[in-house]
Amino acid sequence: MPEIVRRAVDEAEAALRFDFPAHARYEVLQRAAALVEARQEDYAWSIAREGSKTIREARREPSRAANILRLSAEEGRRIAGETLPFDSRKGSENRVGYYMRVPAGVIGAIAPFNDPLAVAAHKIGPALAAGNAIVYKSSPLSRAAPEMLGRDLMEAGLPAGRLSVVDGGDEAGEALVRDARVRVLSFTGGVATGERIAAAAGIKKLLLELGSNSPVIVLADADLPRAVSAVCDGAFAQAGQNCLGVQRVFVEDSVYREFATSLANAAGRLRVGSALDESTDVCGLITEAQAVRVERWVREAVESGARVLTGGRRDDALYWPTVLEGVPAGAKLDCEEVYGPVVSLYSVRTLDEAIERANAVRFGLHAAIFTESLNNAFRAIRELRAGAVIVNDSTDYRLDVMPFGGVKSSGIGREGIRFAIEEMTEIKVVCLNLRHS
């Protein structure tokens, strides 16, 4: 497997010797977007069959991926620099110049199993739009959609070597991380793997999206039905296998019991079943081992005093949507990323307490607050330590043009088309020393 990665990097380096102008990149990405849209059902069923999403959830990915490719095409035509004021320093009056952005070169990308098509589009689209070549290592658990996207890009006219989609496990990933010819390494996954990548990568730019256990604050003045609906969707979509999923909810005392009862009832109404069943709301986790781990974390919390309001049941890889309260500080469900359909509720007296507890973990990807008070909303925006603060919506909201990423152990760098292009380009300064007239 490392040899496959080395050959892919060889081909990427060779492809970079040939011109691939912005207008050609634009046309390829636009044609590929049209092909993805034309094959939406094929993509959707491939995603659902691999087990990470229900078929209804999977159907949302192809149109999103097509949009990401189109956004990448447009942003690729707007890569620009600016002139520099060399005469701002005495003695440089005869100098003029500018800076421009140039392709970084070979991009390496390592992807998780969830959102297999959208994540691929988010890494491949900006990389190509910026003029790079990219070696994309998909997850062995969800490889069909990235491979289909690679074929569609080739059919759209992408020059050979500009994209290689490779499969494989840790050995393939390590080969990509350690290859000095890879100038930018984009990884989405867990903190432990991210730390290993940072230690092994050498001198290259790292873009690391490392997950979270996202907090939501619900104040007494919130629209409670709206908050319940958003939290339910945010906690249990994709069976909780989502780095933006709601995991911890801090509810003001006076409305805590009403909120907790409503959320437990909403979660209990969700239909659990096969990903291929059109009526399923929550499907199984990607593997039974992951469901067993979630079961173990819930059991540990309960043994330490937590109470299950609904759920807490496993059948093979299926884990029922679970709402808990009284999860003690320091339990895995409280401070680690569960990556499953489990949400923990906490009663708080004040916004200050909610913000303090929301920040009291090593993660900081997205946070959210439900309130009708602008003052409270802006206090949360100012004081929550997160890459994004969402007001009156779930943490599980992402617009593909947002600068997406987190703080603390949630990672470094930003995705989102324009911002990813900036990360995947280098700045080159041009200075001309002109003769005196």
The DSSP secondary structure of 353-380, one letter per residue, reads HHHHHHHSSS--SEEEEE-S-HHHHHHH
- Half-sphere CA count of 149, side-chain side, radius 13 A: 35
Residues of the chain with pLDDT under 50: none
Q: Which fold has domain 215-391?
A: Aldehyde Dehydrogenase; Chain A, domain 2 (3.40.309)
Q: Which CATH superfamily hosts domain 2-211+406-433?
A: Aldehyde Dehydrogenase; Chain A, domain 1 (3.40.605.10)
Q: Which has the closest alpha carbon to 29: 186, 220, 163, 167?
A: 163
**pLDDT per residue as tens digits for the range 91-121:** 999 999 999 999 999 999 999 999 999 999 9
386 close to 408: Cβ distance less than 8 angstroms: no
Instruction: Please tell me the distance from the alpha carbon of residue 279 to that of residue 66, in angstroms, as a whole number.
Output: 26
> In the block, which residue shows the tokens 């080969």?
175
Query: What's the gap between Cα 139 and its chain centre?
Result: 14
Give me the catalytic one of 61, 75, 209, 415: 209
405 close to 188: Cβ distance less than 8 angstroms: no
168 close to 140: Cβ distance less than 8 angstroms: yes
Indicate if 243 belongs to the active site: yes
Give me the catalytic one of 61, 174, 243, 283: 243
Instruction: Please tell me the distance from the alpha carbon of residue 153 to that of residue 339, in angstroms, as a whole number.
Output: 31
Within 254-410, strands assigned E span 307-310, 314-315, 318-319, 322-325, 342-348, 366-370, 388-391
Q: What is the pLDDT of residue 431?
A: 97
> And the tokens for 205?
């730019």
Q: What is the pLDDT of residue 437?
A: 61
pTM of the model: 0.95
Q: What is the pLDDT of residue 101?
A: 98
Sign of CA dihedral 290, 296, 297, 298: positive
Residue spans of the domains in the chain: they are 2-211+406-433, 215-391
Indicate if 209 belongs to the active site: yes
> And the tokens for 175?
């080969």
Residue 281 amino acid letter: D
> And the tokens for 56?
């209804």
**pLDDT per residue as tens digits for the range 373-386:** 999 999 999 999 99
Instruction: Please tell me the distance from the alpha carbon of residue 152 to that of residue 286, in angstroms, as a whole number.
Output: 26
